[in-house]
Structure 1
Amino acid sequence: MARADKAAAVKEIRTLLTESNAAVLTEYRGLSVAQLTQLRRALGPDTTYAVLKNTLATIAAKEAGVTAFEGQLVGPTAIAFVGGDPVEAAKGLRDFARTNPQLVVKGGLLDGRAISAADVTALADLESREVLLAKVAGVLKASQAKAAALFQAPLSKTVRTVEALREKQAAGAPAAEASEAPAAETADA
């Protein structure tokens, strides 16, 4: 590779590292080109799976200020650069690795922090962002309904009490006036 090509490759890797939501470092020893193509499809359109030269990846990581891959860039290395939901990419890697044990997840980078292979697996076990947001929205809606019921209960109880007092007063007022009238007549007599 010519020096200009290497500089361009380093720049591209650095750009991918800085612009991605996450990056997962893998070793793909023993996987065929067809299997790697299948993996790329499994990762989805928002993830770029790139086979890299370790030296160029090391230089790009240093230039990008990424320390997550230090000491791990050995052997046949590929990085999944995740532009979309990291959970979906982690699930794709996990599911592919179940049927193709040659794929080894070494670690990764999520929101600028290093994560281990176990963290990538834990991330894969999460539900997707959309499902989690839907669950949060459901909980908030249920909480809102409960809160509204709690606030409406004392208000409706107060309204019923006031209405009962009015009815009692309206029903009791003619009786009170009638009892006062004979008292007034007996006083005149």
Structure 2
Amino acid sequence: MDRAEKKEAVATLHEVFSKTSVVVVAHYSGLTVAQMQNLRKQMKLAGARVQVAKNRLAKIALEGTDVASVGSLLKGPALIAYSDDPVAAPKVAVAFAKDYEKFVLLGGAMGKTALNVDGIKSLATLPSLDELRAKLLGLLQAPATKLAQLSTAPAAKLARVFGAYASKDAA
């Protein structure tokens, strides 16, 4: 790489580190090209990205960002996985590490919070943003669904429901 390419790489990485919400660092030594392509494919499907960069350039790009704490993890053949969704990159990285023992998680950062391997694993167990939205939508729709079911129920069932609420309030 010549000097101009290095400056461009640092600028690109700095922009990524500034905008992303979570960064995961892992060693990938010993993985085949097919396995790396599989990792990239899984990350892309989850809305995350994987990037292999020179450690020195990545450390320079980390300066002045919220995720600067991962700089100490960049030793040896390290890759960086990142995503806007705080759960996407850790979830895929943890699942991939279970399948391939040569893929070793080192740690990461979520905003200004540095994460060790256990922190990455616990972050991976949380539901994604889309799952949380679906649950919230289900909770919002549930009362309307129950009201619709009550309005279509026979009058006897409706009377029993009112009676049950009246006895509940009296107790």
Which TM-score band (shorter chain)?
Answer: 0.7 to 0.9
Q: Sort the Cα spacing of 1:117 and 1:135 in 2 relative to 1 into closer, same or farther, 3 A.
A: same
Partner of 2:41: 41
Q: Sort the Cα spacing of 1:66 and 1:130 in 2 relative to 1 into closer, same or farther, 3 A.
A: closer
Aligned AA for 2:21?
A: N
Partner of 1:167: none
Secondary structure of the corresponding residue to residue 74 of structure 2: coil
Does the Cα contact within 8 Å between 1:94 and 1:121 map onto a contact in 2? yes
> Equivalents in 1 of 2:92, 2:18: separation in Å?
22
> Equivalents in 1 of 2:60, 2:141: separation in Å?
49
Output aligned runs, 1:1-189, within 5 Å.
Answer: 1-45=1-45, 46-64=47-65, 66-83=67-84, 85-139=85-139
Does the Cα contact within 8 Å between 1:22 and 1:86 map onto a contact in 2? yes
Does the Cα contact within 8 Å between 1:26 and 1:103 map onto a contact in 2? yes
Partner of 2:149: none
CA deviation digits over 1:17-64, x for unaligned, max 9? 111121111111111111111001111253220111110011111143
Aligned AA for 1:107?
A: G
Q: Sort the Cα spacing of 1:97 and 1:137 in 2 relative to 1 into closer, same or farther, 3 A.
A: same
- TM-score normalised by structure 1 residue count: 0.68
Aligned AA for 2:57?
A: L
Shift of 1:4: 1.2
Percent of matched pairs sharing the same residue: 34
Does the Cα contact within 8 Å between 1:40 and 1:48 map onto a contact in 2? yes
Aligned AA for 1:9?
A: A
Structure 1: segments with no counterpart, 5+ residues: 146-152, 158-189
> Equivalents in 1 of 2:24, 2:144: separation in Å?
39
Greater Rg, structure 1 or structure 2? 1
> Equivalents in 2 of 1:2, 1:62: separation in Å?
21
> Equivalents in 1 of 2:68, 2:77: separation in Å?
19
Q: Sort the Cα spacing of 1:64 and 1:130 in 2 relative to 1 into closer, same or farther, 3 A.
A: closer
Does the Cα contact within 8 Å between 2:22 and 2:108 map onto a contact in 1? yes
Partner of 1:161: none
Partner of 1:176: none
Structure 2: segments with no counterpart, 5+ residues: 146-161, 167-171
> Equivalents in 1 of 2:126, 2:52: separation in Å?
27
Aligned AA for 1:38?
A: N
> Equivalents in 2 of 1:6, 1:88: separation in Å?
29
